[in-house]
Amino acid sequence: MNSCPFCQRDLEEKMAVCPSCKAIKGYLKVSDFILGKDLLIFFGLIVPCMIIFFAISARNLFGLYLSIIMILPILFAILRLILGKKWMK
């Protein structure tokens, strides 16, 4: 049994939403939206990799800089996937 970090209610291991305070277990919170694993992989890994691919194919200095910058969301997404889900409200 786990407990909700916000309201301290006992929860089962498989529960993703706390029934009392409505806290959600997820990977990343963007504004008021909590991303699951699929969306984190898509927006954190696939989209930046596509941007890097097209930026490198432009073969100019801006493309190189953009490619370097897009490594940051990839590293952040990998870190969040390694750390796993956490409770967010």
Note down pLDDT in tens along the chain; length 89 residues. 788 899 999 988 888 899 999 999 999 888 888 889 999 999 999 999 999 999 998 889 999 999 999 999 999 999 999 999 999 98
**pLDDT tens digits along 74-86:** 999 999 999 999 9
The rounded radius of gyration (Å) of the Cα atoms in the chain is 17
Task: Locate the domains of the chain by residue range.
Answer: 2-88
Query: What CA–CA distances, in Å, run from 8 to 15, 22, 23, 39, 70?
Result: 14, 12, 11, 28, 39
Cα torsion 50, 54, 57, 59 to 10°: value is -120
CA 86 to chain centre: 11
- The pTM for the full model equals 0.79
